[in-house]
Amino acid sequence: MKNKPMDQKRMDHLRHINREIIQQKNRLQKLRALRQGRVRQAPGLPSLTPQDAQERYAVQLRELEESAARHLEKCLEEAQALQDFIQGVEDSQTRQLLSLRYLECLTWQQVAFRMGYCDEQTPRKQSQAFFKRQQKEVKAGVAQK
Domain boundaries, given as residue ranges, for the chain = 1-88, 92-145
Is the pLDDT at 118 greater than 70? The verdict is yes
CB 46 within 8 A of CB 61: no
When pLDDT is averaged across residues 124-141 and rounded to a whole number, the result is: 89
pLDDT digits (tens, 9 = 90+) for 26-49: 888 888 887 777 766 666 666 667
Alpha-helical regions (H) of 6-120: 8-35, 50-54, 58-87, 92-98, 108-114
The mean per-residue pLDDT over the stretch 92-106 comes to: 93
Query: What is the distance between the alpha carbons of residues 76 and 108, in angstroms, rounded to a whole number?
Result: 25
Task: Specify the 3-state DSSP secondary structure of 46.
Answer: coil
